[in-house]
Structure 1
């Protein structure tokens, strides 16, 4: 099953900060790639746009200060995941008939254009908080983006404890932790201005 497990999502980050000049140290704070642009802007004393969710990492590097408690990540059409660095909550779609949508101004896949039959049903969607007041095209995602590549029917909601199971081989049953992670997932999705149908697909 193709899911965004921690061995894919938790990529090593090697960073050199010229002021502190620290080297040969490990930092276990939870950061995301969205923090890198904010870090560069801050370093060069440039304004960080209000719709940028990333956080500068200078204090994390220099003083080991955390910048976030949770991170949100996932794969298009598959699970949406939330982590606090120890637990990873992988929320699978509960309504598998509810389609996912592309929101774009560039109707392209990795190696091909959208087909005319896909664009015939496209709608103009209102701006998101991060699209600079621009409208987008809302286009239903074709089935090949979700299956068989993602083995859509086999997706299940799972909770992993990375402390006791770093390879995510055995999901844990912990209702309190799952509820905590689910609430935080909803909060982060709202902060990211996720479309309403995504909440419906995930049963949130």
Structure 2
């Protein structure tokens, strides 16, 4: 059975393939399949991952499980959030208040106490700075927010890619990012510079060619 063809049933209690149940079991909730062909399931306050035939991928149980991304899944255990491999083995023994999904070999996590940073696929952090918030990496760049609420961009090494800070900020799309100045929103380039003088109360993620004319 190709797990890529397996879908969630209408009541989200099992998975189906071509409209037919993929297995006999029923759960309180199932989520979609992700590489390497495992899906999170929840039943009677216990959570784990199954394969496309409904078989448990490992013997452990958690309070909550999420999908696999880049070979790791975020889970909630009795002592906190962390990541596991497809065989159910912990990435590390470290526990967090929250874990994101791995993107581009990096993942945002929230430490006990509320500060954020990123970790690598070996579970280790790769910069010393703690942030009020960290976003996912996209094309080698992520948004981070300092304790004063100002946001900027960092690269894959955790270094600032420009020296400018904004009230709100998005990742780059086709070389430009939405940034909120005190006077409103505008698009910035990778050097953190606004590419036009106007400011707007709202702004699309996508840059219209008309702005460049």
Is the structural similarity TM-score above 0.5? no
If you compute each CA radius of gyration, which structure gives the higher value, 1 or 2? 2
* TM-score normalised by the chain length of structure 1: 0.22
Q: Normalized against structure 2, the TM-score is what? A: 0.21
Asked which structure has the greater RCO (Cα within 8 Å, sep 6+), the reply is 1
Structure with bigger helix share is 1
